[in-house]
Structure formats: structure tokens, C-alpha cells
Amino acid sequence: MKNNCFSILLLLLTLLPCSLNAQAGFSPIKDAGSFRQKVASASRTTQTIESSFVQEKIMDVLSEKITSRGKFYFRKENDLRWEYTSPVKYLIIIHNGNILIRDESKESHFDARSNKLFSEINAIIVGSVKGTLFEDKTRFSSAFFENVSRYLVKMKPISSNLKATLCEIRLYIDKKDMTVSEIEMQEISGDMTRIVFQSKKINTPLPNDIFSSKK
């Protein structure tokens, strides 16, 4: 069950080698306090996010990367729809503390509020999207970097559950709107995945049925 739960999370993030330092072109942020305030302010004013995404996954057992595409929706506080449309259909919905996973014709439901592991996964996914995950000091230690157009937050897991699976999570945040443009995560195994958000729409109304399991 534990590995299956973490596989849900690993579908959504990018993985890079543990030994890497800050990405090329990034330098340490001099005023981390100001950066935190900007992220907090953007999080307060961002009600919805709608975006397309491209995911690239590289696995040790495969010689070629796997590229997937889909649509992403977020509504404050914690409603989320992550829908893969190609090459296969796969759907994840988080709504009112419940997690729905639909893989072709198979559908599963989980209560994140009554399951510690799913609660942790829910917090990581939503915190990554909102760009506030680095404030969770019980799960991660963080370092902050920037270049001309983006901030980079590198987070290393602290909790034993996460350290057994993850090496590092990286959030790339656009300076123009302070929203996450790319999420990266590295597994201990060395497998790598990258999610890049494209054509983002901020604060446009989203109908309730987007977060319904019936749609």
C-alpha cells in the first residue's frame, strides 16, 4: 500500500540527482524573508489556476523517456483535478479531503483525512501547486535561489516516510505572477519526472463539476 500511495505522488513531480547543486544560472536569494512574503501574498490572492501540462519521466529500466500531456485545475483551498489525456487517460481528483483515482475503467476512492499517508501526499501535492510547500518545516528543509525570471526552491525531506522514497523536490516559481511553473522531484531510485505547466490562467471561475467524480 505504501509504495502504491507514493506512486500517485511520483506521477506528479520531477526527479534530479541528489548530488546536484543549484541549477545552472541560479544564485542564492539574498533576502529569503522578502521572497517568503511574496509567495504568501500570491497564495492569498490566487483563487484558481487552470493550466495544460507536459510530463517527462525517465526511468532506469527504460531507454527512452515517457512523455504525457494533460490538464490541471486548482481551486482554493484544496480542490485539485489532475487529468492525463495522452498517451493514456488517468485522473486524480482531490476534493473535500477525498482522493479519487481513475485509471481507464478502474476507480478508487481514499479519505486523506483518516489516512496519515494519504494526508501527507495530499499536503505535498497541494503545497507544491500553491508554492507554499517549503513552509512545511516538519517535512522539508529548504534552500532558495533565483535567476532573472524565476525562483527555485530546493527541498530535502526530513520525515522518515519521505526520506525512504524521495531525495529532493524542486519548485520553480515565475517572478511575473509568483505561481509555480515547474515541479521537480527525485526518487532515491534515480528515476526522474518533470512537470511543466503551460498556458496558465489565474483566477478564472471554475465550475464545481470539474472537481466531481462524475465528470
The confidence score (pLDDT) of residue 171 equals 87
Higher pLDDT, 103 or 125: 103
Contact criterion met (CB below 8 Å) for 187 and 13? no
For residue 3, pLDDT over 60 is answered with: no
* Superfamily of the domain at 2-211: Lipoprotein localisation LolA/LolB/LppX (2.50.20.10)
DSSP state of 76: T
The confidence score (pLDDT) of residue 127 equals 74
Residues 135 and 83: their CA atoms lie apart, in Å, by 27
What percent of the chain has a predicted confidence (pLDDT) above 90?
24
Highest mean pLDDT among 7-11, 55-59, 174-178: 174-178
Global pTM value:
0.80
The confidence score (pLDDT) of residue 110 equals 81
For residue 8, pLDDT over 90 is answered with: no
Helix, strand, or coil here: 42? helix
Residues 138 and 3: their CA atoms lie apart, in Å, by 21
Residues 108 and 124: their CA atoms lie apart, in Å, by 20
Domain residue limits, the chain: 2-211
| Phi/psi at 19 (5° precision) | -80, -10
